[in-house]
Amino acid sequence: MNQTQLIVLVAVLLFPFTLLFMEAGRRFGRRRLSEDPEGARAGASAVEGAVFALFGLLIAFTFTSAASRYETRRDLILRHTNAIGTAWLRLDLLPG
């Protein structure tokens, strides 16, 4: 089995399982909310805080990698510009 077939197989299996577990979580949450409305919402703020913290880390890592790629690109442009300028100045040394 090559890599492409494996990726397609994983995607095909992952999608229905994701839908299945989302439906199970929705049903579990509705049942718990109907049984104990106050207790079902008790731990939601901690979960929200953890999710927002993970999103913050994801955004921070994204911006950090984008900034490093920007600096690398800027450095390469500067090097190429200097090389072109040096080549242009050295053209005066050659006879016409």
The answer to whether residues 96 and 71 belong to one domain is: yes
pTM of the model: 0.47
* 84 and 50 part of one domain: yes
26 lies in the same domain as 48:
no
Structural domain total, the chain = 2
- For every one of its 96 residues, what pLDDT tens digit does the chain have, with 9 covering 90 and above? 799 999 999 999 999 999 999 999 999 988 888 888 777 667 778 888 999 999 999 999 999 999 999 999 999 999 999 999 999 888 877 676
Residues 18 and 55 in one domain: no
- Ramachandran quadrant class, 36 (left: phi over 0; alpha: psi -120 to 50; beta: rest): beta
Q: Are residues 16 and 55 in the same domain?
A: no
> Which residues fall within 8 angstroms of residue 39, CB to CB, at 6 or more apart?
32
Q: What is the pLDDT of residue 5?
A: 92
Claim to verify: residue 52 and residue 93 sit in the same structural domain:
yes
Is 84 in a helix, a strand, or coil? helix
Shared domain for 63 and 82, answered yes or no, is yes
Q: Which domain holds residue 1?
A: 1-42
